């Protein structure tokens, strides 16, 4: 399976640098333009399936990039991470070491743990591999899910041991104007 991952394009929470979480917000004018640019990048690929997060900014991005106009499948497993008490807070207030820790057994500020996010994303990836083994699949989602897919693809330990440092996890950032390609996933 070839996997193409697209992050939702710009929304007001991005502009304000706040934790948008699962709040329903339209794309900004710039976000619409970014999605139109991504559509042109995506034209290089003949995809068979498109799956989107149900969160409005991701689904709007999917509608714009979907040059083939195939049905878009909604999957809750690629919904943005639940940020708990950090919802709509300044991103600079987030303790990234705790937010991105795989060792945390308790949620940070009531947020969904990174491990829970990776597990739900991993269940979708496993299902996609079985169902669409010889296909090209586009996922339109959020930075947190993109990070989880990156960790799964790079065989990062999921139990907090060995292969991933908090610095490495914090450093991974999926820009909203790029497409991530995973060949032979």
pTM check: above 0.85 = yes
- Nearest one of 143, 91, 93 to 117, comparing CA atoms: 143
d(CA 176, CA 184): 23
Q: Which domain holds residue 87?
A: 2-182
Q: How many domains does the chain have?
A: 1
Q: Which CATH number characterizes residue 125's domain?
A: 3.40.50.1240
Span 29-88, pLDDT tens digits: 999 999 999 999 999 999 999 999 999 999 999 999 999 999 999 999 999 999 999 999
Residue 6 backbone dihedrals phi, psi, to 5 degrees: -120, 130
- Going by the DSSP 8-state scheme, the letter that residue 109 receives in this structure is G
Across 11-15, 31-35, 103-107, 177-181, least confident range: 103-107
d(CA 97, CA 170): 8
pLDDT at 163 over 50: no
pLDDT band at 160 (very low <50, low <70, confident <90, very high): very low
d(CA 79, CA 53): 5
pLDDT band at 185 (very low <50, low <70, confident <90, very high): confident
Alpha helices, DSSP H only, in the chain? Answer: 12-16, 29-42, 56-65, 96-99, 114-131, 143-153, 166-171
């Amino acid at each position: 399976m070839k996997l193409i991952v697209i992050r939702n394009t710009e929304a007001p929470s991005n502009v304000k640098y706040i934790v948008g979480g699962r709040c329903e917000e339209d794309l900004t004018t710039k976000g619409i333009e970014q999605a139109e640019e991504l559509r042109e990048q995506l034209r290089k690929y003949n995809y068979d399936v498109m799956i989107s997060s149900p969160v409005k900014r991701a689904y709007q991005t999917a509608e714009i990039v979907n040059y083939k106009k195939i049905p878009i499948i909604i999957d809750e497993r690629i919904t943005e991470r639940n940020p708990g008490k950090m919802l709509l807070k300044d991103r600079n207030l987030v303790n990234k070491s705790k937010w991105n820790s795989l060792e945390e057994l308790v949620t940070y500020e009531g947020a969904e743990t990174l491990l829970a996010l990776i597990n739900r994303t991993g269940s979708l990836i496993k299902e996609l591999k079985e169902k669409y083994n010889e296909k090209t699949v586009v996922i339109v989602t959020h930075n947190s899910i993109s990070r989880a897919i990156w960790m799964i693809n790079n065989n990062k330990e999921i139990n907090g041991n060995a292969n991933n440092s908090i610095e490495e996890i914090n450093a991974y950032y999926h820009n909203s104007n790029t497409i991530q390609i995973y060949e032979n996933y």
